[in-house]
Chain A
Protein backbone atom coordinates (compact mmCIF):
# COMPACT_ATOMS: atom_id res chain seq x y z
CA UNK A 1 0.00 0.00 0.00
CA UNK A 2 2.82 2.32 1.00
CA UNK A 3 4.70 1.38 -2.16
CA UNK A 4 1.68 2.23 -4.31
CA UNK A 5 1.33 5.61 -2.56
CA UNK A 6 5.01 6.40 -3.18
CA UNK A 7 4.71 5.41 -6.83
CA UNK A 8 1.66 7.62 -7.36
CA UNK A 9 3.41 10.50 -5.60
CA UNK A 10 6.55 10.15 -7.76
CA UNK A 11 4.49 9.94 -10.96
CA UNK A 12 2.45 12.99 -9.92
CA UNK A 13 5.55 15.05 -9.04
CA UNK A 14 7.20 13.96 -12.27
CA UNK A 15 4.15 15.07 -14.26
CA UNK A 16 4.09 18.39 -12.40
CA UNK A 17 7.82 19.02 -13.00
CA UNK A 18 7.59 18.23 -16.69
CA UNK A 19 8.24 21.30 -18.81
CA UNK A 20 5.06 22.30 -20.61
CA UNK A 21 6.15 25.70 -21.87
CA UNK A 22 9.55 26.31 -23.42
CA UNK A 23 10.62 29.49 -25.11
CA UNK A 24 13.99 30.46 -26.52
CA UNK A 25 13.93 33.98 -27.90
CA UNK A 26 16.47 36.46 -29.20
CA UNK A 27 19.67 35.96 -31.14
CA UNK A 28 19.72 33.62 -34.09
CA UNK A 29 23.38 34.40 -34.71
CA UNK A 30 26.54 33.14 -33.04
CA UNK A 31 26.54 36.22 -30.80
CA UNK A 32 24.02 38.48 -29.07
CA UNK A 33 21.53 37.89 -26.26
CA UNK A 34 18.97 35.16 -25.94
CA UNK A 35 16.20 34.55 -23.41
CA UNK A 36 14.93 31.19 -22.26
CA UNK A 37 11.81 30.48 -20.27
CA UNK A 38 10.81 27.07 -18.95
CA UNK A 39 7.52 26.53 -17.12
CA UNK A 40 6.42 23.20 -15.70
CA UNK A 41 2.88 21.95 -15.24
CA UNK A 42 2.87 23.25 -11.67
CA UNK A 43 3.58 26.79 -12.88
CA UNK A 44 7.20 26.77 -11.69
CA UNK A 45 9.05 29.06 -14.06
CA UNK A 46 12.75 29.54 -14.71
CA UNK A 47 13.98 32.45 -16.79
CA UNK A 48 17.52 33.09 -18.05
CA UNK A 49 19.01 35.91 -20.10
CA UNK A 50 22.38 34.94 -21.51
CA UNK A 51 24.73 35.54 -24.38
CA UNK A 52 25.01 32.84 -27.01
CA UNK A 53 27.75 30.53 -25.73
CA UNK A 54 28.27 33.11 -23.01
CA UNK A 55 27.55 33.74 -19.37
CA UNK A 56 24.13 34.14 -17.76
CA UNK A 57 23.37 37.86 -17.47
CA UNK A 58 20.13 37.57 -15.53
CA UNK A 59 17.96 34.80 -14.09
CA UNK A 60 14.86 34.49 -11.98
CA UNK A 61 12.70 31.69 -10.60
CA UNK A 62 9.04 32.45 -10.03
CA UNK A 63 5.62 30.83 -10.05
CA UNK A 64 2.71 31.35 -12.41
CA UNK A 65 -0.67 30.52 -10.90
CA UNK A 66 -2.70 27.68 -12.35
CA UNK A 67 -5.15 30.27 -13.68
CA UNK A 68 -2.39 32.20 -15.42
CA UNK A 69 -0.91 29.08 -16.99
CA UNK A 70 -4.38 27.97 -18.07
CA UNK A 71 -5.04 31.39 -19.61
CA UNK A 72 -1.80 31.12 -21.57
CA UNK A 73 -2.77 27.74 -23.01
CA UNK A 74 -6.23 29.08 -23.84
CA UNK A 75 -4.55 31.96 -25.67
CA UNK A 76 -2.40 29.47 -27.55
CA UNK A 77 -5.55 27.63 -28.63
CA UNK A 78 -7.52 30.72 -29.64
CA UNK A 79 -4.55 32.26 -31.49
CA UNK A 80 -4.22 29.08 -33.51
CA UNK A 81 -0.74 28.20 -32.24
CA UNK A 82 -1.30 24.46 -32.49
CA UNK A 83 -2.22 24.72 -36.17
CA UNK A 84 0.74 26.87 -37.20
CA UNK A 85 3.58 25.52 -39.31
CA UNK A 86 6.63 24.41 -37.37
CA UNK A 87 8.92 26.93 -39.05
CA UNK A 88 8.76 30.45 -40.48
CA UNK A 89 11.87 31.99 -41.98
CA UNK A 90 12.03 35.59 -43.22
CA UNK A 91 15.07 34.83 -45.37
CA UNK A 92 17.56 37.12 -43.66
CA UNK A 93 20.62 35.73 -41.91
CA UNK A 94 21.81 36.39 -38.33
CA UNK A 95 19.21 38.57 -36.59
CA UNK A 96 16.60 37.36 -34.13
CA UNK A 97 13.84 34.80 -33.71
CA UNK A 98 11.90 32.65 -31.29
CA UNK A 99 11.33 28.96 -30.67
CA UNK A 100 8.16 28.07 -28.76
CA UNK A 101 7.30 24.56 -27.67
CA UNK A 102 4.10 23.83 -25.74
CA UNK A 103 2.51 20.75 -24.18
CA UNK A 104 -1.15 21.40 -23.44
CA UNK A 105 -2.39 18.28 -21.69
CA UNK A 106 -0.41 16.01 -23.96
CA UNK A 107 -0.98 18.04 -27.11
CA UNK A 108 2.50 19.09 -28.18
CA UNK A 109 3.51 21.58 -30.84
CA UNK A 110 6.51 23.76 -31.55
CA UNK A 111 6.99 26.78 -33.79
CA UNK A 112 10.20 28.46 -34.88
CA UNK A 113 10.38 32.01 -36.26
CA UNK A 114 13.53 33.57 -37.70
CA UNK A 115 13.65 37.19 -38.82
CA UNK A 116 9.94 37.35 -39.46
CA UNK A 117 6.60 38.07 -37.85
CA UNK A 118 3.58 35.79 -37.51
CA UNK A 119 0.47 37.52 -36.09
CA UNK A 120 -0.58 34.49 -34.01
CA UNK A 121 2.85 34.34 -32.36
CA UNK A 122 2.85 38.08 -31.74
CA UNK A 123 -0.55 37.75 -30.06
CA UNK A 124 0.54 34.81 -27.91
CA UNK A 125 3.78 36.48 -26.80
CA UNK A 126 1.96 39.73 -26.09
CA UNK A 127 -0.26 37.73 -23.73
CA UNK A 128 2.73 36.00 -22.17
CA UNK A 129 4.53 39.31 -21.69
CA UNK A 130 1.51 40.62 -19.79
CA UNK A 131 1.75 37.59 -17.47
CA UNK A 132 5.50 38.18 -17.03
CA UNK A 133 5.13 41.89 -16.36
CA UNK A 134 5.40 41.53 -12.54
CA UNK A 135 8.78 39.88 -13.08
CA UNK A 136 9.87 42.74 -15.39
CA UNK A 137 10.51 40.22 -18.17
CA UNK A 138 9.79 41.10 -21.78
CA UNK A 139 10.25 38.34 -24.33
CA UNK A 140 11.92 40.03 -27.31
CA UNK A 141 12.47 38.29 -30.61
CA UNK A 142 12.66 41.44 -32.69
CA UNK A 143 8.91 42.01 -32.81
CA UNK A 144 9.33 45.56 -31.52
CA UNK A 145 11.39 46.53 -34.53
CA UNK A 146 9.58 47.27 -37.76
CA UNK A 147 12.09 45.50 -39.95
CA UNK A 148 12.16 47.00 -43.40
CA UNK A 149 13.17 45.35 -46.61
CA UNK A 150 13.37 47.24 -49.82
Chain B
Protein backbone atom coordinates (compact mmCIF):
# COMPACT_ATOMS: atom_id res chain seq x y z
CA UNK B 1 0.00 0.00 0.00
CA UNK B 2 2.83 2.36 0.93
CA UNK B 3 4.68 1.49 -2.30
CA UNK B 4 1.57 2.18 -4.33
CA UNK B 5 1.18 5.55 -2.62
CA UNK B 6 4.81 6.38 -3.33
CA UNK B 7 4.44 5.49 -7.02
CA UNK B 8 1.27 7.56 -7.27
CA UNK B 9 3.04 10.48 -5.59
CA UNK B 10 6.00 10.26 -8.02
CA UNK B 11 3.63 10.10 -10.99
CA UNK B 12 1.77 13.10 -9.62
CA UNK B 13 4.98 15.12 -9.21
CA UNK B 14 6.06 14.17 -12.76
CA UNK B 15 2.70 15.31 -14.05
CA UNK B 16 3.06 18.59 -12.23
CA UNK B 17 6.54 19.08 -13.69
CA UNK B 18 5.23 18.39 -17.19
CA UNK B 19 3.09 21.51 -16.79
CA UNK B 20 6.25 23.63 -17.06
CA UNK B 21 6.57 26.71 -19.24
CA UNK B 22 6.19 26.04 -22.94
CA UNK B 23 6.11 28.68 -25.64
CA UNK B 24 5.60 28.87 -29.38
CA UNK B 25 9.10 30.12 -30.17
CA UNK B 26 12.67 29.02 -29.49
CA UNK B 27 13.18 32.37 -27.77
CA UNK B 28 10.11 34.00 -26.27
CA UNK B 29 10.44 37.45 -24.72
CA UNK B 30 7.31 38.85 -23.14
CA UNK B 31 6.07 41.00 -20.31
CA UNK B 32 4.84 38.91 -17.41
CA UNK B 33 1.07 38.46 -17.48
CA UNK B 34 0.73 39.30 -13.81
CA UNK B 35 3.54 41.75 -13.42
CA UNK B 36 4.23 44.33 -16.14
CA UNK B 37 7.51 45.18 -14.40
CA UNK B 38 8.97 41.77 -15.18
CA UNK B 39 10.26 40.72 -18.61
CA UNK B 40 10.27 36.97 -19.04
CA UNK B 41 12.83 35.44 -21.42
CA UNK B 42 12.07 31.80 -22.13
CA UNK B 43 14.68 29.93 -24.18
CA UNK B 44 13.80 26.42 -25.34
CA UNK B 45 16.56 24.16 -26.67
CA UNK B 46 16.13 20.61 -27.96
CA UNK B 47 19.24 18.45 -28.27
CA UNK B 48 19.72 15.59 -30.65
CA UNK B 49 22.10 13.73 -28.38
CA UNK B 50 22.28 11.60 -25.28
CA UNK B 51 20.64 11.99 -21.87
CA UNK B 52 24.08 13.02 -20.56
CA UNK B 53 24.23 15.78 -23.21
CA UNK B 54 20.85 17.09 -22.07
CA UNK B 55 21.95 17.16 -18.44
CA UNK B 56 25.34 18.76 -19.18
CA UNK B 57 23.92 21.48 -21.42
CA UNK B 58 21.03 22.11 -19.01
CA UNK B 59 23.43 22.53 -16.09
CA UNK B 60 25.70 24.81 -18.08
CA UNK B 61 22.91 27.03 -19.40
CA UNK B 62 20.97 27.24 -16.14
CA UNK B 63 24.11 28.34 -14.30
CA UNK B 64 24.87 30.92 -16.96
CA UNK B 65 21.37 32.35 -17.33
CA UNK B 66 20.42 32.56 -13.65
CA UNK B 67 21.22 36.25 -13.81
CA UNK B 68 18.38 38.75 -13.30
CA UNK B 69 18.87 42.17 -14.81
CA UNK B 70 17.44 45.61 -14.12
CA UNK B 71 15.92 47.79 -16.83
CA UNK B 72 15.96 51.35 -15.49
CA UNK B 73 13.18 53.84 -16.08
CA UNK B 74 13.94 56.68 -18.50
CA UNK B 75 13.49 59.48 -16.01
CA UNK B 76 14.64 57.81 -12.81
CA UNK B 77 17.27 55.12 -13.09
CA UNK B 78 16.69 54.02 -9.50
CA UNK B 79 13.32 52.62 -10.56
CA UNK B 80 12.69 50.07 -13.23
CA UNK B 81 11.85 46.55 -14.36
CA UNK B 82 13.55 43.20 -13.96
CA UNK B 83 14.28 40.40 -16.40
CA UNK B 84 13.86 36.75 -15.58
CA UNK B 85 15.31 34.06 -17.85
CA UNK B 86 14.03 30.50 -17.96
CA UNK B 87 16.02 27.84 -19.80
CA UNK B 88 14.25 24.70 -21.01
CA UNK B 89 16.48 21.92 -22.36
CA UNK B 90 14.92 18.75 -23.69
CA UNK B 91 15.87 15.77 -25.78
CA UNK B 92 14.72 16.37 -29.36
CA UNK B 93 13.48 12.81 -29.79
CA UNK B 94 11.22 13.12 -26.77
CA UNK B 95 9.36 16.19 -28.06
CA UNK B 96 5.95 15.80 -29.59
CA UNK B 97 5.78 16.61 -33.29
CA UNK B 98 3.86 19.82 -32.68
CA UNK B 99 6.37 21.00 -30.05
CA UNK B 100 9.48 20.77 -32.22
CA UNK B 101 9.12 24.09 -34.02
CA UNK B 102 9.13 25.86 -30.66
CA UNK B 103 12.62 24.66 -29.75
CA UNK B 104 16.06 25.65 -31.02
CA UNK B 105 17.48 22.48 -32.55
CA UNK B 106 21.02 21.46 -31.54
CA UNK B 107 22.91 18.54 -33.03
CA UNK B 108 25.49 17.30 -30.51
CA UNK B 109 28.77 15.84 -31.83
CA UNK B 110 31.99 14.67 -30.22
CA UNK B 111 34.55 17.32 -29.39
CA UNK B 112 37.20 17.52 -32.13
CA UNK B 113 38.69 20.78 -30.89
CA UNK B 114 36.61 22.88 -33.28
CA UNK B 115 34.12 25.45 -32.02
CA UNK B 116 30.38 24.86 -31.90
CA UNK B 117 28.26 26.92 -34.23
CA UNK B 118 24.81 28.49 -34.36
CA UNK B 119 22.49 30.21 -36.77
CA UNK B 120 21.37 33.64 -35.60
CA UNK B 121 17.73 33.55 -34.55
CA UNK B 122 15.06 36.13 -33.86
CA UNK B 123 13.18 36.48 -30.57
CA UNK B 124 9.46 35.77 -30.79
CA UNK B 125 9.81 34.24 -34.25
CA UNK B 126 10.43 30.58 -34.99
CA UNK B 127 13.51 28.79 -33.76
CA UNK B 128 17.11 28.44 -34.84
CA UNK B 129 19.66 25.61 -34.89
CA UNK B 130 23.31 24.74 -34.46
CA UNK B 131 25.91 22.03 -34.12
CA UNK B 132 27.57 21.84 -30.74
CA UNK B 133 30.65 19.95 -29.53
CA UNK B 134 30.35 17.88 -26.36
CA UNK B 135 32.33 19.01 -23.31
CA UNK B 136 32.84 22.47 -24.76
CA UNK B 137 34.75 25.07 -22.75
CA UNK B 138 32.73 26.96 -20.12
CA UNK B 139 30.38 29.61 -21.50
CA UNK B 140 30.55 28.33 -25.11
CA UNK B 141 26.94 27.05 -25.02
CA UNK B 142 25.94 30.27 -23.28
CA UNK B 143 27.52 32.22 -26.18
CA UNK B 144 25.79 30.10 -28.83
CA UNK B 145 22.40 30.57 -27.14
CA UNK B 146 22.89 34.33 -27.41
CA UNK B 147 23.13 33.78 -31.19
CA UNK B 148 19.83 31.88 -31.04
CA UNK B 149 18.44 34.96 -29.32
CA UNK B 150 19.57 37.24 -32.14
CA UNK B 151 22.96 38.58 -31.04
CA UNK B 152 25.93 38.76 -33.42
CA UNK B 153 29.60 38.12 -32.68
CA UNK B 154 31.65 41.05 -31.52
CA UNK B 155 35.05 39.95 -32.77
CA UNK B 156 36.86 40.44 -36.05
CA UNK B 157 39.45 38.21 -37.73
CA UNK B 158 42.11 38.26 -40.42
CA UNK B 159 44.05 35.59 -42.35
CA UNK B 160 47.53 36.07 -43.78
CA UNK B 161 47.85 34.37 -47.17
CA UNK B 162 51.58 33.70 -47.83
CA UNK B 163 50.85 32.60 -51.40
CA UNK B 164 49.47 36.03 -52.26
CA UNK B 165 51.47 37.77 -49.52
CA UNK B 166 48.33 39.60 -48.48
CA UNK B 167 46.01 39.86 -45.48
CA UNK B 168 42.50 38.59 -46.09
CA UNK B 169 39.60 40.20 -44.24
CA UNK B 170 37.56 37.38 -42.76
CA UNK B 171 35.21 38.97 -40.19
CA UNK B 172 34.63 42.65 -39.58
CA UNK B 173 33.14 44.52 -36.67
CA UNK B 174 29.56 45.68 -36.97
CA UNK B 175 29.37 48.58 -36.37
CA UNK B 176 32.86 49.72 -37.45
CA UNK B 177 35.57 50.76 -36.88
CA UNK B 178 37.93 47.82 -36.59
CA UNK B 179 40.27 47.83 -33.61
CA UNK B 180 44.02 48.38 -33.94
CA UNK B 181 43.72 51.34 -36.24
CA UNK B 182 41.30 49.60 -38.60
CA UNK B 183 43.47 46.51 -39.07
CA UNK B 184 41.65 44.31 -36.51
CA UNK B 185 44.77 42.25 -35.78
CA UNK B 186 48.03 41.31 -37.47
CA UNK B 187 48.43 37.73 -38.69
CA UNK B 188 51.86 36.46 -39.71
CA UNK B 189 53.49 33.61 -41.62
CA UNK B 190 53.69 31.58 -38.40
CA UNK B 191 50.33 32.64 -36.96
CA UNK B 192 48.23 32.94 -40.07
CA UNK B 193 44.82 33.63 -38.53
CA UNK B 194 44.17 36.07 -35.72
CA UNK B 195 41.06 37.37 -34.00
CA UNK B 196 40.42 40.15 -31.55
CA UNK B 197 37.39 41.68 -29.79
CA UNK B 198 35.80 44.70 -31.44
CA UNK B 199 36.40 48.04 -29.75
CA UNK B 200 34.64 48.25 -26.40
CA UNK B 201 33.87 44.52 -26.29
CA UNK B 202 36.94 43.13 -24.52
CA UNK B 203 34.73 41.77 -21.72
CA UNK B 204 31.73 40.84 -23.83
CA UNK B 205 30.69 37.18 -24.07
CA UNK B 206 29.88 37.81 -27.74
CA UNK B 207 33.57 38.58 -28.29
CA UNK B 208 35.27 36.09 -26.01
CA UNK B 209 34.18 33.05 -24.05
CA UNK B 210 36.53 34.27 -21.33
CA UNK B 211 33.81 36.74 -20.30
CA UNK B 212 30.69 35.99 -18.27
CA UNK B 213 27.16 36.66 -19.46
CA UNK B 214 26.43 40.30 -18.68
CA UNK B 215 23.24 42.24 -18.16
CA UNK B 216 24.18 44.15 -21.30
CA UNK B 217 23.86 40.86 -23.24
CA UNK B 218 20.44 40.28 -21.68
CA UNK B 219 19.32 43.84 -22.41
CA UNK B 220 20.54 43.48 -26.03
CA UNK B 221 18.27 40.44 -26.37
CA UNK B 222 15.33 42.24 -24.78
CA UNK B 223 15.92 45.19 -27.14
CA UNK B 224 15.55 42.79 -30.09
CA UNK B 225 12.01 42.15 -28.88
CA UNK B 226 11.33 45.84 -28.33
CA UNK B 227 10.82 45.37 -24.60
CA UNK B 228 13.83 47.30 -23.31
CA UNK B 229 11.63 49.82 -21.57
CA UNK B 230 9.69 50.02 -18.37
CA UNK B 231 6.00 50.99 -18.29
CA UNK B 232 4.79 54.04 -16.42
CA UNK B 233 3.07 51.99 -13.74
CA UNK B 234 6.43 50.50 -12.72
CA UNK B 235 8.33 53.77 -12.90
CA UNK B 236 5.74 55.60 -10.80
CA UNK B 237 5.99 53.17 -7.88
CA UNK B 238 8.57 53.42 -5.12
CA UNK B 239 10.46 50.46 -6.48
CA UNK B 240 10.11 47.68 -8.97
CA UNK B 241 7.14 45.73 -7.77
CA UNK B 242 6.09 42.21 -8.36
CA UNK B 243 2.53 41.08 -8.19
CA UNK B 244 2.55 37.31 -8.16
CA UNK B 245 -0.73 35.51 -8.84
CA UNK B 246 -3.07 34.37 -6.05
CA UNK B 247 -2.28 30.96 -4.64
CA UNK B 248 -4.55 28.18 -3.44
CA UNK B 249 -3.11 25.61 -1.06
CA UNK B 250 -4.36 22.20 -0.06
CA UNK B 251 -2.33 20.78 2.80
CA UNK B 252 -3.20 17.64 4.72
CA UNK B 253 -1.67 17.64 8.17
CA UNK B 254 -1.53 16.82 11.83
CA UNK B 255 -2.76 18.96 14.73
CA UNK B 256 -1.62 18.45 18.27
CA UNK B 257 -4.44 19.88 20.36
CA UNK B 258 -4.65 20.33 24.07
CA UNK B 259 -3.76 21.91 27.36
CA UNK B 260 -2.65 20.64 30.75
CA UNK B 261 -5.97 18.82 31.32
CA UNK B 262 -6.50 17.12 28.02
CA UNK B 263 -4.54 16.60 24.79
CA UNK B 264 -4.74 14.51 21.64
CA UNK B 265 -3.48 14.30 18.09
CA UNK B 266 -5.89 14.96 15.24
CA UNK B 267 -5.56 14.38 11.50
CA UNK B 268 -7.14 16.53 8.84
CA UNK B 269 -6.07 19.34 6.57
CA UNK B 270 -6.23 22.97 5.60
CA UNK B 271 -7.08 24.85 2.46
CA UNK B 272 -7.12 28.49 1.61
CA UNK B 273 -6.13 31.27 -0.71
CA UNK B 274 -3.55 34.02 -0.48
CA UNK B 275 -3.35 37.15 -2.60
CA UNK B 276 -0.24 39.29 -2.94
CA UNK B 277 -0.69 43.00 -2.46
CA UNK B 278 3.02 43.82 -2.69
CA UNK B 279 6.07 41.89 -3.85
CA UNK B 280 6.53 40.22 -0.48
CA UNK B 281 3.36 40.90 1.46
CA UNK B 282 -0.06 39.43 0.94
CA UNK B 283 -3.31 38.58 2.66
CA UNK B 284 -4.99 35.25 2.96
CA UNK B 285 -7.67 33.12 4.49
CA UNK B 286 -7.32 29.58 5.68
CA UNK B 287 -9.86 26.95 6.71
CA UNK B 288 -9.06 23.64 8.30
CA UNK B 289 -10.68 20.64 9.86
CA UNK B 290 -8.97 18.06 12.10
CA UNK B 291 -10.56 15.03 13.72
CA UNK B 292 -9.68 12.66 16.53
CA UNK B 293 -11.50 9.48 17.54
CA UNK B 294 -11.15 7.34 20.63
CA UNK B 295 -12.88 3.98 21.00
CA UNK B 296 -13.18 1.60 23.89
CA UNK B 297 -15.77 -1.21 23.54
CA UNK B 298 -19.12 0.61 23.47
CA UNK B 299 -17.56 4.00 24.22
CA UNK B 300 -16.67 6.28 21.33
CA UNK B 301 -15.52 9.86 21.53
CA UNK B 302 -15.08 11.92 18.37
CA UNK B 303 -13.48 15.34 18.55
CA UNK B 304 -13.51 17.72 15.58
CA UNK B 305 -11.79 21.08 15.32
CA UNK B 306 -12.86 23.48 12.59
CA UNK B 307 -10.74 26.57 12.11
CA UNK B 308 -11.22 29.67 9.98
CA UNK B 309 -8.56 32.36 10.02
CA UNK B 310 -7.50 35.36 8.01
CA UNK B 311 -4.39 37.52 8.11
CA UNK B 312 -1.14 38.46 6.48
CA UNK B 313 1.51 36.45 4.75
CA UNK B 314 5.15 37.36 4.05
CA UNK B 315 7.15 35.65 1.29
CA UNK B 316 10.93 35.93 1.30
CA UNK B 317 12.80 36.67 -1.92
CA UNK B 318 14.95 33.61 -2.56
CA UNK B 319 17.98 33.89 -4.89
CA UNK B 320 17.01 33.38 -8.55
CA UNK B 321 18.43 29.86 -9.05
CA UNK B 322 16.82 28.61 -5.85
CA UNK B 323 13.50 26.87 -6.19
CA UNK B 324 12.82 27.01 -2.47
CA UNK B 325 10.43 29.63 -1.18
CA UNK B 326 10.10 30.44 2.50
CA UNK B 327 7.01 32.24 3.77
CA UNK B 328 5.60 33.23 7.08
CA UNK B 329 2.00 33.82 8.13
CA UNK B 330 0.17 35.48 11.02
CA UNK B 331 -3.59 34.97 11.09
CA UNK B 332 -6.45 35.28 13.51
CA UNK B 333 -9.97 33.86 13.46
CA UNK B 334 -12.24 31.44 15.19
CA UNK B 335 -12.12 27.77 16.04
CA UNK B 336 -15.03 25.48 16.68
CA UNK B 337 -14.47 22.44 18.90
CA UNK B 338 -17.11 19.75 18.73
CA UNK B 339 -17.12 16.68 20.89
CA UNK B 340 -19.47 13.76 20.33
CA UNK B 341 -19.58 11.01 22.94
CA UNK B 342 -21.42 7.79 22.20
CA UNK B 343 -22.02 5.13 24.86
CA UNK B 344 -23.99 2.21 23.52
CA UNK B 345 -26.97 3.68 21.74
CA UNK B 346 -26.80 7.02 23.55
CA UNK B 347 -24.85 9.93 22.21
CA UNK B 348 -24.21 13.49 23.31
CA UNK B 349 -22.73 16.30 21.22
CA UNK B 350 -21.22 19.51 22.50
CA UNK B 351 -19.80 22.37 20.43
CA UNK B 352 -17.92 25.42 21.63
CA UNK B 353 -16.17 28.24 19.81
CA UNK B 354 -13.12 30.25 20.62
CA UNK B 355 -10.76 32.83 19.23
CA UNK B 356 -7.93 31.25 17.35
CA UNK B 357 -4.46 32.32 16.21
CA UNK B 358 -2.40 30.75 13.46
CA UNK B 359 1.26 31.81 13.31
CA UNK B 360 3.92 29.91 11.43
CA UNK B 361 6.13 29.39 8.40
CA UNK B 362 6.14 27.27 5.27
CA UNK B 363 8.78 25.94 2.90
CA UNK B 364 7.69 25.49 -0.72
CA UNK B 365 9.48 23.89 -3.65
CA UNK B 366 8.69 25.67 -6.91
CA UNK B 367 7.90 23.16 -9.65
CA UNK B 368 6.82 25.47 -12.44
CA UNK B 369 4.74 28.58 -13.16
CA UNK B 370 1.64 26.93 -11.77
CA UNK B 371 2.57 24.52 -9.05
CA UNK B 372 4.57 24.44 -5.84
CA UNK B 373 4.95 21.58 -3.45
CA UNK B 374 4.54 22.68 0.14
CA UNK B 375 7.26 20.60 1.70
CA UNK B 376 6.41 21.60 5.26
CA UNK B 377 4.27 24.12 7.06
CA UNK B 378 4.61 24.48 10.82
CA UNK B 379 2.19 26.59 12.81
CA UNK B 380 1.54 27.55 16.39
CA UNK B 381 -2.27 27.64 16.61
CA UNK B 382 -3.52 28.43 20.11
CA UNK B 383 -7.21 28.28 21.05
CA UNK B 384 -8.93 29.46 24.19
CA UNK B 385 -11.68 26.99 25.00
CA UNK B 386 -13.07 26.56 28.53
CA UNK B 387 -11.28 29.65 29.88
CA UNK B 388 -7.96 28.00 29.27
CA UNK B 389 -5.30 28.24 26.59
CA UNK B 390 -4.60 25.28 24.35
CA UNK B 391 -1.08 25.52 22.92
CA UNK B 392 -1.73 23.69 19.66
CA UNK B 393 0.79 22.89 16.95
CA UNK B 394 0.12 22.01 13.34
CA UNK B 395 2.34 20.30 10.75
CA UNK B 396 1.12 20.27 7.15
CA UNK B 397 2.43 19.40 3.69
CA UNK B 398 0.72 19.50 0.31
CA UNK B 399 0.40 21.44 -2.91
CA UNK B 400 0.05 25.06 -3.93
CA UNK B 401 -1.57 26.13 -7.20
CA UNK B 402 -0.98 29.57 -8.65
CA UNK B 403 -4.02 31.04 -10.35
CA UNK B 404 -2.80 32.46 -13.63
CA UNK B 405 -3.53 32.16 -17.33
CA UNK B 406 -1.77 29.36 -19.16
Contacts and interface: CB of A to CB of B under 8 A. Distances in A.
Say whether A associates with B: yes
Interface in A103-150: 103, 108, 110, 112, 115, 140-142, 144-145, 147-150
B249 to A, nearest CB: 42
B115 interface: yes
Contacts of B147: 93-94
Contact of A101 (B119, B164, B208): B164
Interface stretch (B33-41, B193-201, B290-298): B193-201
B66 interface: no
A53 B120 CA distance: 25
Contacts of A19: 162-163
Contacts, number: 129
B176 interface: no
B190 A48 contact: yes
B161 A110 contact: yes
A31 B193 contact: no
Nearest to A57: B113
B131 A112 contact: no
Contacts of A29: 115, 153, 155, 195
Given A28-B170, A52-B193, A149-B129, A33 B114 contact: yes
Given A93-B152, A149-B129, A52 B195 contact: yes
A30 B168 contact: no
A108 B137 CA distance: 38
Contacts of A33: 113-114
Contacts of B157: 28, 30
Given A53-B195, A147-B107, A148-B129, A110 B115 contact: no
Contacts of A30: 153, 155, 157, 195-197, 207-209
Given A50-B191, A101-B163, A103-B163, A93 B153 contact: yes
A101 B161 contact: yes
B68 interface: no
Interface in A7-28: 19-22, 24, 26-28
Nearest to A40: B162
Given A93-B152, A93-B153, A24 B159 contact: yes
Contacts of A108: 163-164
Q: How large is the interface on B (under 10, 10 to 19, 20 to 34, 35 or more residues)?
A: 35 or more
A150 B129 contact: yes
Interface residues of A, number: 43
A62 to B, nearest CB: 17
A42 interface: no
A23 B129 CA distance: 28
Residue among A26, A29, A102 having the largest count of chain B Cβ atoms under 10 Å: A29
A95 B153 CA distance: 12
A52 B237 CA distance: 50
A99 B112 CA distance: 19
Given A32-B115, A95-B114, A24 B192 contact: yes
Interface string B71-110: 0000000000000000000000000000010000101010
A30 to B, nearest CB: 4
B379 interface: no
B114 A31 contact: no
A137 B126 CA distance: 41
A99 B194 contact: no
Given A93-B119, A95-B114, 16 more contacts: A20-B163, A21-B163, A29-B115, A31-B137, A36-B192, A53-B196, A94-B153, A96-B115, A99-B159, A112-B159, A140-B112, A145-B131, A148-B48, A148-B129, A149-B105, A150-B129
